């Protein structure tokens, strides 16, 4: 059983995952991304993954049959497990609990060679609906407090399989990084009675120097103080704390701007590895007035080294205004 352990000094929780345990020799080099041969995510290999949780099909096929368009399965080596009780307990000055949660894989396309940026807007929209449907379902579990959706694209970004996929981890605590963002947004709201993200959207729209792309419902910008080169945020223009509460037209327009941004990065940065993360409100957090959901996309262009780990500061060699200009001028 995995464990969640709390750092008593800064309050950060760490997952000690026995399911993903490694011996010292296994840390010598990363596992290679599978580029040929057997792929458990390809159609016809459904029996090689755990039984599916969700799939979108054209009809006629049963569960775990190969006629799917998007498929969600439990991670074969989960960081957290859905079965069991939390069993919170103290260990002297320390706190821990069982590693209860969910760890799922969203297989975004049956095409082994397709990338997320190459999907049609309709296919991309279905990936977004899969995110939404899984969040809605997991929110019913009273043990869970946050659902994190993220993507590792490319070996340097942490992907271990080439077939395009993203992941979901639902957990019984709110991560420290999320709590810090929530606290900052609440402090701003208490001071000004406005959402800081809404104010950022208004200012970025007026100034235009960090705008990468926009449509009726979304704005893509390079943030004012990015952690890494070419970091880009996609924010809904209309205020909303929870991704899963969007209207259908919002998912449609998000499925237009999101791949557009990825294609611009592919062109400007020669198809870089990247991570993206969905920032959305925790389960039953009451953040509707002051929080604003969004996606953050971070190309893997610079390494986090000793200074960053030791100080919490990030060194970014590319001003966001210059990054936005390159991305905006690209013709995807």
Instruction: Identify the pLDDT of residue 58.
Output: 86
For residue 69, the domain's CATH number is: 3.30.428.10
Residue 27, pLDDT score = 45
165, 250, 279, 292: the catalytic one is 165
Give the pLDDT confidence score for residue 31 in this predicted structure. Answer: 45
Query: Which pLDDT does position 251 carry in this prediction?
Result: 98
Statement to judge: residues 122 and 150 lie in one domain: yes
Contact between residue 79 and residue 169 where contact means Cβ atoms under 8 Å apart:
yes
In a domain, 46, yes or no: yes
**Domain closes at, from 175, 193, 218:** 175
Distance CA 163, CA 114 (A): 8
Number of structural domains, the chain?
2
Q: For position 12, what pLDDT does the model report?
A: 80
Per the structure, the complete domain to which residue 125 belongs is given by 3-20+30-175
153 is catalytic: no
Identify the CA nearest to 299 among candidates 114, 181, 125, 156.
156
Q: Is residue 25 part of a domain?
A: no
Return per-residue pLDDT of the chain as tens, 332 residues. Answer: 788 888 776 788 887 776 655 554 454 444 445 455 789 999 999 999 999 999 999 877 789 999 999 999 999 999 999 998 998 999 899 999 999 999 999 999 999 999 999 999 999 999 999 999 999 999 999 999 999 999 999 988 989 899 999 999 999 999 999 999 999 999 999 999 999 999 999 999 999 999 999 999 999 999 999 999 999 999 999 999 999 999 999 999 999 999 999 999 999 999 999 999 999 999 987 899 999 999 999 999 988 888 888 887 888 889 999 999 999 999 87
What is the pLDDT at residue 19? 62
CA distance 109 to 164: 7
* pLDDT reported for residue 35: 52
Assess whether 152 and 129 both reside in one domain: yes
Same domain, yes or no: 202 and 160: no
| 121 and 64 part of one domain | yes
Residue 193 resides in a domain: yes
Q: Please list the residues that pair with 68 across neighbouring strands.
A: 57
Residue 271 forms part of a structural domain: yes
Q: Are residues 282 and 265 in the same domain?
A: yes
Asked if 138 and 194 sit in the same domain, the reply is no
- Residue 30 pLDDT: 45
The pLDDT score that the predictor gives to residue 284 is 81
The full 3-state SS of the chain, as one line of letters, equals CCEEEECCCCCCEEEECHHHCCCHHHHCCCCCCECCCCCCCCCCCHHHCCCCCEEEECCCCCCCCCCEEEEEEECCCCCCECCCCCCCEEECCEEEEECECEEEEEECCCCCCCCHHHCCHHHHHHHHHHHHHHHHHHCCCCCCCEEEEEEEECHHHCCCECCCEEEEEEECCCCHHHHHHHHHHHHHHHHHCCCHHHHHHHHHHHHCCCEEEECCCEEEECCCCCCCCCCEEEEECCCCCCHHHCCHHHHHHHHHHHHHHHHHHHHHHCCCCEEEEEECCCCCCCCCCCCCCEEEEEECCCCCCHHHHHHCCCCCCCCHHHHHHHHHHCCC
Could you tell me if residue 310 is inside a domain?
A: yes
**Residue where a domain terminates, one of 114, 149, 175:** 175
In a domain, 246, yes or no: yes
- For residue 26, the model assigns a pLDDT of 54
Q: What is the pLDDT of residue 24?
A: 47
Last residue of a domain, one of 175, 197, 228: 175
Please check whether residue 259 lies inside any domain of the structure: yes
């Amino acid at each position: 059983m995995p464990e969640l352990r709390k750092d008593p000094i800064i309050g950060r929780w760490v997952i000690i995952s026995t399911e993903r345990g490694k011996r010292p020799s296994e840390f010598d080099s990363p596992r290679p991304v599978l580029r040929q041969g057997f792929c458990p995510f390809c159609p016809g290999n459904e029996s090689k993954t755990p039984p599916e949780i969700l799939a979108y099909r054209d009809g006629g096929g049963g569960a775990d049959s190969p006629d799917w368009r998007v498929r969600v399965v439990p991670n074969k080596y989960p960081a957290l497990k859905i079965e069991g009780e939390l069993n919170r307990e103290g260990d002297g000055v320390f706190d821990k609990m069982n590693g209860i949660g969910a760890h799922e894989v969203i297989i975004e396309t049956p095409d082994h060679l397709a990338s997320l940026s190459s999907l049609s807007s309709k296919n991309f929209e279905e990936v977004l609906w899969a995110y939404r449907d899984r969040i809605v379902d997991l929110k019913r579990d009273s043990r869970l407090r946050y659902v994190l959706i993220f993507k590792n694209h490319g070996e340097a970004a942490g992907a271990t399989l080439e077939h395009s996929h993203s992941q979901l981890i639902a957990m019984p605590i709110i991560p420290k990084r999320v709590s810090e963002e929530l606290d900052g947004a609440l402090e701003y709201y208490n001071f000004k009675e406005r959402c800081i993200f809404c104010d950022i959207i208004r200012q970025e729209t007026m100034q235009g120097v960090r705008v990468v792309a926009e449509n009726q419902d979304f704005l893509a910008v390079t943030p004012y103080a990015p952690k890494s080169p070419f970091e880009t945020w996609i924010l809904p223009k209309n205020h909303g704390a929870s991704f899963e509460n969007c209207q259908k037209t919002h998912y449609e327009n998000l499925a237009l701007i999101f791949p557009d941004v990825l294609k611009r990065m592919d062109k400007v940065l020669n198809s870089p590895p990247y991570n993206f993360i969905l920032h959305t409100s925790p389960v039953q957090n009451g953040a509707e007035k002051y929080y604003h959901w969004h996606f953050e996309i971070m190309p893997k262009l610079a390494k986090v080294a000793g200074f960053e780990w030791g100080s919490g500061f990030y060194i970014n060699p590319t001003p966001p205004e210059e990054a936005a200009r390159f991305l905006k001028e690209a013709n995807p």
